Amino acid sequence: MWVRTRATVAGGVVLILIAVIAIWLVVRQVGDNLTLPLVARKCTVQADGRVALDADQMANAATIAAIGAKRGMPERAVVVALATAYQESGLRNLADGDRDSVGLFQQRPSQGWGTPAQIRDPRYAANRFYAALKKVRGWEKMRVTDAAQRVQRSAFPEAYQKWADDSEVLSRALLGDASGAVACTVGRTPAMYGAAAAAQLTRNLVLDWGLKGTDPTDPTGLAVTPGDQRDGWRYAHWLVSHAQDHGVKRVRFGDLEWTARNGSWGRVDGQQSPAGQVVAEVFNEG
């Protein structure tokens, strides 16, 4: 009887271990699918497809796209970068991960990607990823997952491909190929207000896009003059993507306007943004 009981317990332990390993493998493969409840998704992106993200993910995606554009990388590179960050971190700037991996791309200090503090900087991490991708011969003609794998050297080389379609939607919107395509709702308490919000918004727009001549002293918001319509929507969508963490209340470009109150874009009849500018207004103090 005792021998049989011990055998039963041992068998149960083995089954539990198998189940734990199986669950881990599934989570590793499907990644973000299991960690993004719909109630947390405050941003929608519609550009020949639809993607839903929360505010942190949206802000990170916008920065990844902006850094790629600033480096002069083609849109395909942005798709690869977004798919990689989707799989590795769920588009979140993680403080830890497998072994010593950190950040959006789960880059490892021990493999020469930089210090943990550097890798936790989304701009630094994105720049390092694009630099590594550019060195991969023929990456432009590879499948998304193959190009990503040549950079990441993952134990799951096919895992990036499932994010390709969503990443293409994000890239089209964030690189200005669609109008009014990024819409986010902002909570009752934005992270910043007033002059501090305007200054930080201006600073980060300059850092992400490399703009020059943007006035950082306007306490109510900012205005940017784009080179063309596509650039205008790049900046407008970036501003909406960072609305929650920078206290953005309103964004206008052309005859379309996004407001935090409605969380969506609408037409402003008979009015155009001044001199073709992209205009952003931040929440006042209190």
Task: Report the half-sphere exposure of 183 (CA within 13 A, side-chain side).
Answer: 17
Q: What percent of the chain has pLDDT over 70?
A: 83
Query: Long-range contact list for 118-121, CB < 8 A, 24+ apart?
Result: 120/93, 120/95
pLDDT at 2 over 80: no
Exposed/middle/buried for residue 123 (C-beta within 10 Å: 0-12, 13-18, 19+): middle
Would you state the pLDDT for residue 217? 66
Contact 136, 147 (CB under 8 A): yes
- Residue 95 vs residue 22, higher pLDDT: 95
The amino acid at 224 = V
Structure tokens at 103: 């950040």
18 Cβ partners below 8 Å, 6+ apart?
A: none
- Mean pLDDT to the nearest integer, 161-168: 98
- Mean pLDDT to the nearest integer, 174-203: 93
Q: Determine the length of the chain.
A: 286
Structure tokens at 158: 């096919």
Would you state the pLDDT for residue 119? 97
Under the banding of pLDDT at 50, 70 and 90, the label for residue 275 is confident
d(CA 28, CA 91): 15
- Mean pLDDT to the nearest integer, 151-168: 96
